[in-house]
Amino acid sequence: MAGLEGKVALVTGAGGMRGVGRATALKLAGQGADIVLTDVHREAHDLPPGEVRADWRGIDTVAEEIGALDRRCLPLYCDLGEPDQIQRMVEQAVDHFGHIDILVNNARAIIGRDKVPVTDLPQEVWDHFLAINTTAVFVCTKFVGQEMVRRGAGGRIINIASNAAKQASAMGAAYSASKFAVLGLTQASAMDLAPHKITVNAVCPGPINTDRLSYWERDRADEEGISLEQFRGQIVERAGMASPLGRIAEPEDVANMVAFLASDDAAFITGQAYNVNGGLLFH
Catalytic residues: 175, 179
Q: Are 202 and 269 in contact (CB under 8 A)?
A: no
* C-alpha pair distances (Å), 145 with each of 56, 136, 205: 32, 13, 24
Query: Looking at the DSSP assignment, which residues form a beta bridge with residue 34?
Result: 8
Residue 61 CB partners (closer than 8 Å, separation 6+):
15, 17
Reference 248, options 229, 262, 261, 233; nearest CA is 233
Q: Which residues fall within 8 angstroms of residue 207, CB to CB, at 6 or more apart?
A: 235, 236, 239, 248, 249, 277, 280
How far from 2 is each of 30, 31, 190, 259, 267, CA to CA, in Å? 12, 8, 22, 10, 11
Query: What's the chain's Rg over C-alpha atoms?
Result: 18
| CB distance 200 to 159 below 8 Å | yes
Render 120-168 in DSSP notation, one character per residue: G--HHHHHHHHIIIIIHHHHHHHHHHHHHHHHTS-EEEEEE--GGGTS-
